[in-house]
Amino acid sequence: MTKRKIGIMGGTFDPIHIGHLILGEAAHRQFGLETVYFMPAGNPPHKRNRAGRATDAQRLEMVRRAIASNPHFELSEREMNPDGYSYSYRTLEALNSEHPDCSFYFIIGADSLFDFDTWREPARIAAACSLVVATRNQTDPVRFEQEIETKRKTYNGTFLRLDTPNLDISSHHLREMIQKEESVKYYIPDPVIEYIQQEHIYRVDDGEES
């Protein structure tokens, strides 16, 4: 039986940007993924509603707006756990048992690959999905390929390179740009920018936070 291929794009998405969207679209094309789920990570209670950050509800709404025009992207709220963090290995193992007809492709950037050993239960993650890895932060191509090979050997898992250009963009940098009132047009889809403006997100100094 050929399994249905499902992509998972996890992240904080604070805010979502074209890096995340391009990775999802490229993975859909390169690996024939039927659907890519955008799965915002939950925050533990002490990290919710921090000044200068979006709330959980705002992060969800930004993702919803960003992916609305793409028929093979979907929002998944399953990691928005009311009591705090959820762990990728648990999510992936649950998805596998709920959907035995699907195989899962977890899409990450190179920074996440280099951190992978520090994730909770990395071997169980690698057993539960294929990891699809995009370059980031101008990683040297040889070093990137070596790291993929090392991870394959360490975890006996499937680590696949996603063919994307280096996309020099991060949520962290965008939060700073918005705070400084710089333009983020084309880094973030227009409907998301409109929402950020309407809700005054990331404007820590404007005194309008509730």
Query: Binding segment for ligand ATP among 9-17, 53-61, 123-131, 197-205 (CB under 6 A)?
Result: 9-17
- Residue partners of 121: CB distance under 8 A and separation at least 6: 87, 89
Residues 182/21, Cβ–Cβ less than 8 Å: no
**Largest distance between two CA atoms of the chain:** 58
Which residue's CB is nearer to ligand ATP, number 6 or number 167?
A: 167
Of 117-146, which residues contact ligand ATP (CB under 6 A)?
A: 134, 136
> Does residue 171 touch ligand ATP according to CB under 6 A?
yes
Q: How far apart are CA 181 and CA 200, in angstroms?
A: 11
Ranges assigned E (strand) in the chain: 4-11, 35-40, 73-75, 102-109, 130-134, 158-161
Buried b vs exposed e over 146-171: b needs ≥16 C-beta within 10 Å? ebbeebeeebebebbbbebeebebbb
Among 43, 88, 112, 139, binds ligand ATP (CB under 6 A): 112
Residue of 5, 7, 8, 19 that binds ligand ATP (CB under 6 A): 19
Total residues binding ligand ATP (CB under 6 A): 18
* Residue 116 contacts ligand ATP per CB under 6 A: no
Of the candidate residues 8, 14, 105, 193, the single one contacting ligand ATP (CB under 6 A): 14
| In the complex, least distance from residue 101 CB atom to ligand ATP, rounded to whole angstroms | 26
By C-beta, is 3 or 173 nearer to ligand ATP? 173
Looking at beta carbons only, is 101 or 192 nearer to ligand ATP?
Answer: 192
108 binds ligand ATP (CB under 6 A): yes
Helices 190-199 and 56-67 pack at an angle, to 10 degrees, of 150
Which residue, judged by CB position, is nearest to ligand ATP in the bound state?
A: 109
User: Which range, of 13-21, 66-74, 186-194, 196-204, touches ligand ATP by CB under 6 A?
Assistant: 13-21
Tell how many helices (H) and how many strands (E) occur in the chain. 8, 6
Radius of gyration of the chain (CA): 17
- Chain contacts with ligand ATP (rule: CB under 6 A): 11-14, 19-20, 23, 108-109, 111-112, 134, 136, 167, 169-172
